[in-house]
Amino acid sequence: MNSDIFKPKVSVVIPIYNGEVDLPELICCLLAQTYPRQWVEYLLVDNNSSDRTLTLLKEYAENSPITIHLRSENQIQSSYAARNTGVRAASGEILAFTDADCRPQPEWLDSLIAPFVNQNVAVVAGEILALPGKTLLEQYAERQETLSQKHTLGHKFCPYGQTANLAIRRQVLAKVGLFRPYLTSGGDADICWRILQENVGRLEFASDAIVQHRHRARLKELESQWRRYGRSNRYLHELYGVELMRDITLTECGYRLGRWLLKEFPLFSIQALSGKASFVNLFNTPINLFTARARFAGQRDAKLPEKAKMIAWL
């Protein structure tokens, strides 16, 4: 079948928790999609928000020219449980996923769905780029391409795509199950790995299917993000035997900070003054150490809850 005329019914599932600030821009991005409106529905799932998210969602569902279905997941506080609620209510042949703090570009759905013209494709991951950052930490994450799918698609255990930009055939989910509803991190890797291990289809990367993501602007938010990555690594270790990351000792931290202060900082300062390096380069080493320590702390302190081993089904 020609990919230009391949337009299956698509259900876009977006879990939302306290997304009041993000919703206006998100809805604008959904309105701008080039995919034919008659072939796409948007399932916006409130995950027990405490702000005005639910009120805003009701307004959008009632007044928008695109098809928006409002759902709620109030029993389990987990984005994966919320996604399952959306999937169960969906009617599309393809399930596409993104998040409230993402900004899908106009041709996102067109590019993300196109590879499914091949029946051997079970999962498609699109690219995740940074929204323009103003703070030092945002610019750092942008330069590091922290959320790029190239990191997860190159995972040494098994490739996977992040649910900020992912699409899966509905019939595949019927075979391998939905997300683990009580899992709070690592569910995107888990569902992709189950699909690939069951050998029900392959994973493809659609580099032109782009969503932009807002990076953390404050140190506390950055620490929370990397602690969550550490918890994810612990959970996937317990589920699949994924290798745990090693600790960066205080001695190693001291050595690397000393090298940074005495050698790297003066060098990058000169380069920055001459326009050959950016201000962000000056602080790469301390921020790298900070995120690594936060990730290890998250891995060290986490333990997979027994309930999180449960797989939900259609």
Residues 133 and 281 in one domain: no
pLDDT at 19 over 70: yes
Task: Looking at the structure, tell me whether residues 32 and 92 fall in a common domain.
Answer: yes
- Binned at pLDDT 50, 70 and 90, residue 243 comes out as very high
Residue 221 maps to a domain: no
Tell me, yes or no, whether 313 lies in a domain.
no
In a domain, 182, yes or no: yes
| CATH at 179 | 3.90.550.10
What pLDDT sits at residue 249? 87
Same domain, 17 and 133: yes
State whether 99 and 24 are in the same domain: yes
- Which of 121-125, 264-268, 274-278, 281-285 is least confident? 274-278
Query: Residue 251 and residue 83: Cα distance in Å, rounded?
Result: 43
Count up the domains in the chain and report the number: 2
Q: Is residue 2 part of a domain?
A: no
What is the average pLDDT across 109-130? 97
User: Mind listing the pLDDT tens digit for each residue in 27-55?
Assistant: 999 999 999 999 999 999 999 999 999 99
More confident residue, 282 or 76: 76
Residue 133 has pLDDT above 90, yes or no: no
Q: Is 69's pLDDT higher than 70?
A: yes
| Same domain flag for 210 and 248 | no
| Whether residues 63 and 191 fall in one domain | yes
End-to-end Cα distance, the chain = 29
Indicate whether 128 pLDDT > 90: yes
Q: Could you say which DSSP state residue 278 is in?
A: -
pLDDT of residue 214: 82
Q: In terms of C-beta density within 10 A (0-12 exposed, 13-18 middle, 19 or more buried), how is residue 128 classed?
A: buried
Same domain, 150 and 28: yes
Boundary-marking domain end, from 215, 247, 266: 215
| Whether residue 87 sits in one domain with residue 173 | yes
129 strand-pairing partners: 212
Q: Could you tell me the pTM of the whole model? A: 0.93
Q: So what's the pLDDT on residue 74? A: 95
Residues 162 and 287 in one domain: no
Both structure tokens of 81: 């449980």
In this structure, are 141 and 176 located in the same domain? yes
300: left (phi > 0), else alpha (psi -120 to 50), else beta?
alpha
> Taking a C-beta distance cutoff of 8 angstroms, is the pair 175, 313 a contact?
no
Band (pLDDT 50/70/90 cuts) for residue 277 is low
Q: Which amino acid is at 193?
A: W
The answer to whether residue 226 sits within a structural domain is no
Q: Are residues 247 and 192 in the same domain?
A: no
User: Is 79 inside a domain boundary?
Assistant: yes
- In percent, the amount of the chain with pLDDT more than 70 equals 97
- Quick one: 24 and 125 in the same domain? yes
Is 1's pLDDT higher than 70? no
> Domain of 265?
236-303
Q: Of 215, 246, 271, which residue is a domain's last?
A: 215
Measured distance CA(82)–CA(16) in Å, rounded: 8
Per-residue pLDDT band for 281 (boundaries 50, 70, 90) equals confident
**Mean residue pLDDT across the chain:** 93
Does residue 172 lie in a domain region?
Answer: yes
Quote the pLDDT of residue 3: 57
> Is residue 311, in this structure, part of any structural domain at all?
no
Model confidence at 265: pLDDT above 90: no
